[in-house]
Amino acid sequence: MDINRRRFVGLGGTALTGALAGCTGSSGDQEATETESDAATTEADATTTAPPEDTSYTVSMAPVGDVTFDEVPETFTAYESGYADMGTALGKGEDLLAVGNTARYYTDHLAELDGVTATEEPTQLLGDSYAIDRELFYELDSDVHLIDPQWLLNNGYFKLERSDIDTVVEDVGPFVGNTIFRRTDPWHEYRYYSLYDAFEKVAQVFDRVDRYEAVKAIHDETVAQVGANLPSADARPNALLCFGASDEPEQFYPYRLSDKGTNKKQFRDLGITDALSGTGVSGLSTNDRGQIDYETMLQVDPDSILLRGHEGKTEQEFQDSVVSFMQDHDVASELTAVQEGRVFRGGPIYQGPLQHLFNLERFATLYFPERFSGDLFSRADLAAAVRGEA
């Protein structure tokens, strides 16, 4: 997309429109004495030639509002890699240029989807000390940024100002996005979107709503079938979700499983409840970095533990390192979850629609192996939906 064709108003809304005005020179009396027949022909052409079709379209999403596109964007940048997965689910995976943190960008699940690919090594937006260089947006030259600008402005370590966002919008391309992976940020006073609400907006941006609908149909059927086969609510375990990336963890950052952020959707689909409910322990957010230890965990004694920061490991590697350490630990070994073998990797921080389906299957078979096994959805059907062949 030619940079000169991008004309958008900063964080607010409608696109600026412009047109090239053509000018013709004069050759004096010769042009002044056009024949009446030529003039009549010109007039006839004017009455029969249709004006150019307006192909512009508008997508509205909080907090930015209305953004008008004069053509469908090709390349894109995301911060939350869940938005990258949305692009991939629409057949746009190879058009991703950058994500916020490449360590949280996962594509292993795509190996099971024939003909579905994504950028293997996108650029990372985060620089030294988590700062983001505004000039990087210019270097990337993305047609659209699937990023909530308020996320960039309300995290001080990014070191971005509103003027930075405005100039990138004006000179490079618009921002369309909403921070959806969690719901604990006090500055997020505008509308939240569910995973599929946000996915639909991204589909509108890329004018691929048909692929969104095909993926959603598979999602709806899978979630319904899983829900119909779950044990009763009183037979489902609760879970303590926390972050602890060490192979021998001693301190943990707790998350609230009850939070409706999109990265916890599979647990809600499975009816897994929050072990911290009623304990007074807060969840991890931008302004709350409190930690808990095994003694605190033991006071809660959750039925299961979901430990984030280990998505780069296989389940067996996780069991052989982290779980083995906990089994040998004086205090951790007393936890019910450790004794009963319900300590699992906690899933990705950011999650898109394709990842969610694989994670729903993963946790259904981990938590309820007597009820779920094998593939819970058709890989062939999902791949066809992504390819636009459903």
Per-residue confidence (pLDDT) for residue 53, from 0 to 100? 81
Per-residue confidence (pLDDT) for residue 289, from 0 to 100? 53
Residues in a beta bridge with 146: 78
∠ at Cα 103 (139, 263), nearest 5°?
110
Range 231-387: architecture per CATH: 3-Layer(aba) Sandwich (3.40)
What DSSP line would sit under 340-387, residue for residue? TT-EEE---SS--HHHHHHHHHHHHHHH-TTT--S-SS-HHHHHHHHH
Outline which parts of the chain fall under CATH 3.40.50.1980.
57-219, 231-387
Q: How confident is the model over 225-252, as pLDDT tens digits?
A: 999 999 999 999 999 999 999 999 999 9
Q: What is the mean pLDDT of the chain?
A: 88
50's CB contacts (< 8 A; 6+ apart) are: none
Confidence of residue 18 (pLDDT cuts 50, 70, 90): very low
Is the separation of the CB atoms in 240 and 337 below 8 Å?
yes
| Dist. CA 137–CA 94, nearest whole Å | 18
| 258, pLDDT greater than 50 | yes
| Dist. CA 298–CA 278, nearest whole Å | 15
Is the separation of the CB atoms in 299 and 292 below 8 Å?
no
| Dist. CA 346–CA 295, nearest whole Å | 20
Q: Which of 115, 67, 124, 70 is nearest to 93 (CA)?
A: 115
> Can you tell me the mean pLDDT for 266-291?
76
> Can you tell me the mean pLDDT for 24-48?
42
- Residue count (the chain): 390
For 57-219, CATH gives: 3.40.50.1980
Per-residue confidence (pLDDT) for residue 383, from 0 to 100? 98
> Can you tell me the mean pLDDT for 262-276?
96
> Can you tell me the mean pLDDT for 377-388?
98
Q: The tokens of 347 are what?
A: 């899933």
Kindly report the pTM of this predicted structure.
0.85
Confidence of residue 54 (pLDDT cuts 50, 70, 90): confident
Per-residue confidence (pLDDT) for residue 7, from 0 to 100? 40
Percent of the chain with pLDDT over 70: 84
Q: Which of 5-14, 114-123, 349-358 has the lowest mean pLDDT?
A: 5-14
Confidence of residue 290 (pLDDT cuts 50, 70, 90): confident
The single-letter DSSP state of residue 70 is S
Q: How many CB atoms lie within 10 A of CB 323?
A: 20
| 25, pLDDT greater than 50 | no
Q: The tokens of 187 are what?
A: 């500055």
> Can you tell me the mean pLDDT for 200-209?
98
Burial of 133 (0-12, 13-18, 19+ CB in 10 A): middle
Percent of the chain with pLDDT over 90: 80
Confidence of residue 52 (pLDDT cuts 50, 70, 90): confident
Q: How confident is the model over 56-88, as pLDDT tens digits?
A: 999 999 999 999 999 999 999 999 999 999 999
Q: The tokens of 239 are what?
A: 């879970």
